[in-house]
Chains A and B, each alone.
Chain A
Amino acid sequence: MAVACVLPFFLSNYHVFQASMVLSTAIALVGLNILTGYSGQISLGHGAFLAIGAYTTAILMDKFDVPYWATIPVAGLVCLVAGFLFGLPALKLEGHYLALATFALAVALPQLLKFRYLEPWTGGVQGIVIMKPDPPISSFMGLTLNSDRWLYFVALLVAALMYLVAWNLLRGRIGRALIAIRDQPTAAALMGIDTSLYKSLAFGVSALFTGVAGSLSAILVAFVAPDSFTVFLSITLMVGMVVGGLTSLPGALYGAAFVQFIPNLADQISKAAPWAIYGALLIVLMIVLPGGIAGGLNLLWSKVTNRTGALQ
């Protein structure tokens, strides 16, 4: 954590920007993990909640002059409601069918954002350009704070907060209920857990997290447009979550870093077919590290600690 705090002063503004994006994606992945990892519900449409969160922030900032930090909780709340409402009917579906319904959501949302009657609000195909916020104080203890660095700290704070919320949630009764629903849904129902309520709640909460992430990303990029939220984004989220490690909160960070940096790396390796490299890497990772990066690290850690234990 201490490393995270001093990082922006050692990196160029561009890298700070990238780091902030990773933090924002990590929040979304935590949200997705709550839904998929812990409650076992698949969603191929979480990009839609990134979009709703981002657009909420953009519209509030652009049309209503709401300060950027105030839009973040609003975006979260809007997505909580949207997620819950979508979850109510959708979560009657299982497995593939839920995947299809969420996939359809991801596909339909960009078109909805472009709809001409919503254009006065959403900016239609042109999107909305936001003003990048300036830091409230230009320096702190002798270190200069520019816009990028300030936003990094905002992202860090929000990420830490959301992480704590998730950790608390999953540790307690709700977390146990979700895991029960995931592993043995019929038994859970028999034990008196209102499965559909919990599942819809899980969906809503995961949407909340993703909405917050979307809101942050809108502030960072300072622009929202329907083209930013394609189906591929939803798929990328899911890939990030699995690669990072299901049911692992640190996994969200690894997964976010993966989807942010690996495509750039692949581009440097092969200009001709960078996505082929990316795809190959995905497949290799899944074969070699079925528990994702977090799973792999856990395995490594246990091997190391076992070995030191045996040495005694």
Chain B
Amino acid sequence: METFIHQIVAGIATGGVYASLALALVMIYQSTHHINFAQGEIAMFATYLAWTLINAGFPYWVAFFGTVILAFALGVLIQRVIIRPVENAPVLNVVVVFIGLLVILNSLAGWIFTYTIKSFPSPFPKEPPFGLSFISSHELGSIGVTIVLLVMLYSFFRFTPLGLAMRAAAQNPDSSRLVGIRVGWMLALGWGLAAVLGSIAGMMIAPIVFLEPNMMSGVLLYAFAAALVGGIDSPGGAVLGGFLVGILENLLGAYVIGTELKLSVALVLIVTVLTIRPAGLFGKVIVTRV
């Protein structure tokens, strides 16, 4: 029984990792209606920027907020320079651009920082919380951070005029322009904010998995699954999806099928969930008119 609880808690811990990146994916989707495959690499690159700052001697929190600002700038820059020219292109062209971006960032990170793993500090205390041995303070802290970000994101989109403008710009750019929304800048803002979310996710994930250029590739798949299973336009759903995926992955591996077929079973589950609820557990069902 104790091991079972361990597995659930460990699952929540890894789930927290997926949830934080899933949140960034949702952010970018809600503001641009694109799923950005390069999100993980942007997060990874931002984390390397943080690492550089910390290595240069800056205290953790200075580096943290410095990175957040740099990530925002990076996101906006990418949108203005790379994404804008293909804004009106067919979806697949945009996907290829994302892949190009992914590959560029990964390769640059490997070139500049090498592929050897680096440890990344955690702002949370080293001792396990409340004497529990199966979740570290950092993991608990990261989950807390993710939930705070979730609440902030949700309130931003639901309750602020800017959030409304961003959602409108993504959903119906033409009508939005007619009401005076600067669609271009809304999209850039969306990218900037998503990069910020990604960078925070990266800085929370790196202490757990160790910093290296391929750090996010494994996470991206699960975050992608989490975001979709939870509902790609629902931040709360994505986060919940992340935890679900983490717990399920652990339980499947430990009890059901052993670690050797984990991925195949996950596949079957994903397809099953999506067949029953095609818009994800908490997503909105889209009705298309002819």
Contacts and interface: CB of A to CB of B under 8 A. Distances in A.
In their complex, do chains A and B touch, with some C-beta pair under 8 Å?
yes
B111 A272 contact: yes
Contact of A116 (B108, B260, B274): B260
B278 A97 contact: yes
A47 B160 CA distance: 44
Given A273-B108, A275-B104, A276-B104, A93 B92 contact: no
B290 A187 contact: yes
Contact of B274 (A101, A185, A187, A235): A101
Contact of A103 (B221, B264, B278): B221
A279 interface: yes
B96 A243 contact: yes
Contacts of A116: 260
Contacts of A276: 103-104, 107-108, 111
B290 A186 contact: yes
A235 B92 CA distance: 12
B278 A279 contact: no
Contacts of B288: 185-186
B10 interface: no
A279 B267 contact: no
A227 B263 CA distance: 15
A104 B100 contact: no
Interface stretch (B49-57, B82-90, B126-134, B170-178): B82-90
Contacts of B260: 111, 114-116
Given A36-B92, A111-B260, A283 B278 contact: no
Given A111-B260, A273-B108, A287-B85, A100 B224 contact: yes
A290 interface: yes
Nearest to A281: B100
Nearest to A236: B99
Contacts of A272: 111
A214 to B, nearest CB: 19
A96 B93 contact: no
A294 to B, nearest CB: 13
A76 B132 CA distance: 55
Given A94-B278, A279-B100, A290-B93, 8 more contacts: A104-B263, A107-B267, A115-B260, A115-B261, A238-B95, A242-B93, A273-B111, A282-B97
Interface of B: 35, 82, 85-86, 89-97, 99-104, 106-108, 110-111, 221, 224-225, 228, 232, 260-264, 266-267, 270-271, 274-275, 278-280, 288-290
7 contacts: A101-B274, A111-B260, A235-B99, A238-B96, A276-B107, A279-B102, A283-B97
